[in-house]
């Protein structure tokens, strides 16, 4: 296991983060408390230290399981949780990004986690009723109170994250250090705006759904349904394209003698050291397979093949400025001779240089 700082902070986090949406079987799927604890211990024993949860995962059971399992090991872990989703039905203020819900959600999470602070507190999704300034100031208050060490954001548009961090910098508040987004070989649209924005602001990226709910393991190629049928996140293109992507993942896996899951995770890690896949498992055997991806390095040809078959469709202005004639208008006729070393590790589809 290797480690690197989260964004522009000095916080060292592991190459793979352990997601805990599968901790607890309250939703009819997932792992028991015993197996969840065994998975957590196996992850920590393998050198992992970045554990991700949320206040609503399995109705709060995920946090409770973590709180019990981390007794005696709390300081070994970079523990993160999220707020925003409804905490109870019927209460209009029991959801959202606003200060009231933020403070109440955090206190409840700390109780379930049996700790007096979390290392990273994530805004789970964007509530457009709440001004960005209120969100950032309320988060900063919790950092100053010692209940939160760093703050992060999940599932926000790029322009509002940029607004939030610019505002935080101008006012001396705590900026977002990390960004969670859905990113995998079937969902590469974050490369258009979110990833370039994260690179510019030096925000660490955590990729949730790195295996597309199991699709990238190849087990659904025969047409069998999966969790994607339950959680249809959208944005993954047509079914035939998805099948071609998965087939190429399986082909590369056969070439290297590894599982398709390991290939998909290795491809994600090839995006740069700032991209951390969040792996969610229900069994220790699945965790072991995911951890083995850390030993895999795809060669340039394999990466190119996966890139080509999964290339996302461009949107304006990205597809416009990538056309050769417009590129020359923007950068001049010697644009191919210009090297931007600042972006050397950020491989995005709108990198025209």
Active site residues per annotation: 57
Q: Which residues pair with 65 in a beta bridge?
A: none
Residue 87, both tokens: 């905490």
Q: Where do the H-state alpha helices sit in 202-338?
A: 227-230, 239-256, 260-269, 284-291, 300-310, 318-321, 324-331
Cβ atoms 265, 277 nearer than 8 A: yes
Nearest-5° Cα angle at 51, 186 to 59: 85
Of 20, 18, 14, which is closest to residue 1 (Cα–Cα)? 14
Beta-carbon contacts of residue 239 (< 8 Å; ≥ 6 apart): none
CB-count burial class (<10 Å; 0-12, 13-18, 19+) for 42: middle
Beta-carbon contacts of residue 30 (< 8 Å; ≥ 6 apart): 21, 22, 23, 24, 36, 58, 282
Q: How many C-beta atoms lie closer than 10 Å to residue 349's C-beta? A: 19
Beta strands in the chain (DSSP E): 3-5, 12-14, 17-19, 50-52, 78-83, 118-123, 148-154, 176-182, 204-208, 275-279
Q: What is the maximum span of the chain, computed from C-alpha positions, in angstroms?
A: 63
Question: Angle between the 260-269 and 284-291 helix axes, to the nearest 10 degrees?
Answer: 50
The Cα–Cα gap between 223 and 212 comes to 15
């Amino acid at each position: 296991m290797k480690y690197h700082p989260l964004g522009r902070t000095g916080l060292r986090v592991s190459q793979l983060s352990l997601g805990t949406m599968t901790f607890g079987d309250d939703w009819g799927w997932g792992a028991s408390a015993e197996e969840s604890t065994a998975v957590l211990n196996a992850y920590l024993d393998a050198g992992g230290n970045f554990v991700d949860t949320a206040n609503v995962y399995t109705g709060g059971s995920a946090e409770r399981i973590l709180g019990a399992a981390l007794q005696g090991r709390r300081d070994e872990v970079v523990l993160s949780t999220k707020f925003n989703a409804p905490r109870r039905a019927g209460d209009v203020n029991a959801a959202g990004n606003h200060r009231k819900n933020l403070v109440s959600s955090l206190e409840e999470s700390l109780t379930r986690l049996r700790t007096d602070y979390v290392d990273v507190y994530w805004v789970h999704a964007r509530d457009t009723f709440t001004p960005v300034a209120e969100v950032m100031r309320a988060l900063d208050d919790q950092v100053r109170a010692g209940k939160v060490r760093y703050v992060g954001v999940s599932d926000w548009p790029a322009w509002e994250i940029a607004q939030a961090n610019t505002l935080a910098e101008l006012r001396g508040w705590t900026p977002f250090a990390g960004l969670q987004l859905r990113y995998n070989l079937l969902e590469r649209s974050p490369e258009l705006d979110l990833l370039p924005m994260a690179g510019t602001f030096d925000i660490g990226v955590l990729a949730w759904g790195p295996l597309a709910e199991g699709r990238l393991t190849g087990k659904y190629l025969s047409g069998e349904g999966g969790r994607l049928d339950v959680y249809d996140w959208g944005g993954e293109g047509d079914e035939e394209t998805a099948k071609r992507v998965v087939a190429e993942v399986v082909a590369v896996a056969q070439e290297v003698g590894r599982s398709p899951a390991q290939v998909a995770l290795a491809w994600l890690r090839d995006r740069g050291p700032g991209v951390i896949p969040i792996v969610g498992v229900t069994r220790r055997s699945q965790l072991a397979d995911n951890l083995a991806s850390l030993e895999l390095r795809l060669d340039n040809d394999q990466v190119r093949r996966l890139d080509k078959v999964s290339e996302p469709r461009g949107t304006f202005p990205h597809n416009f400025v990538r056309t050769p004639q417009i590129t020359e208008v923007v950068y001049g006729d010697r644009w191919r001779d210009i090297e931007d070393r600042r972006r050397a590790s950020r491989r995005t589809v709108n990198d025209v240089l």
